[in-house]
Amino acid sequence: MFYMKEQSASPDLEISSAITEIVEEAKKRWGLEYEGEIPLKGGIAITTVRPNDVGHPTSAKDYWELAITTADTWQNWINTPIDKDAFVLVCGMFNNTVANPATNEIQITSNGIALPVINIDHIYSYQEPKMYLSKPIGTGPSATLKIQCTARVAQSERIGLIGYTIAKKSFVITQ
């Protein structure tokens, strides 16, 4: 069961449990050992989620960005299958847009399950405009992670995910 209560502080216990669960699944799936943040032997590693890990961006840029082309309309921000050698764990999101951030709602669909719409307007009142999900959302290899957004005005924003990629060494060391 998903419980989508949003919060301003990281739910460390929930994140740790989810990482452990994903690592165990990855070990079974690939027959490799977990090596943590420094994979020296070619096993499974963990790193922060990068834009390219979730098929974003579609250009050569490797930074988080959301281009809202039409105001008050739901648009796909991320909509891609996760690589066959990776799991992605979404723990939250941030918005580093300096002047007048406009994204006000998101909806995440993971592994074919559409989760409730989350209004994020309130994060712009925080000193650091970010939020965490009370339970992180994991998307497995070859499964699709889809995140749709809507905003008050059409503009580009520096909005991104907070989370982890747990994958084979060959995936996490690729530049």
| 35-89 pLDDT per residue, tens | 999 999 999 999 999 998 998 765 556 788 888 899 999 999 999 999 999 999 9
CA distance 95 to 101: 8
**Can you give the pLDDT at residue 11?**
84
Express each pLDDT in 111-125 by its tens digit: 999 999 999 888 888
Q: What is the DSSP letter of 27?
A: H
Confidence bin at 3 (pLDDT 50/70/90): very low
Q: Which domains does the chain have, with CATH numbers?
A: 6-172 (2.60.120)
**Can you give the pLDDT at residue 2?**
43
User: Region 101-109: what's the mean pLDDT?
Assistant: 93
CA distance 161 to 90: 7
Confidence bin at 1 (pLDDT 50/70/90): very low
Q: Is the pLDDT of residue 156 over 70?
A: yes
**Can you give the pLDDT at residue 61?**
62
As a whole-number percent, the residues of the chain with pLDDT over 70 amount to 91
Query: Edge-to-edge strand order for the sheet containing 130-139?
Result: 6-7, 130-139, 86-95, 159-168, 44-48, 34-36
For residues 92 and 159, the answer to whether their CB atoms sit within 8 Å is no
The overall longest dimension of the chain from CA atoms, in Å, is 49
User: CA-CA distances (angstroms) from residue 158 to 101, 108, 129?
Assistant: 9, 18, 11
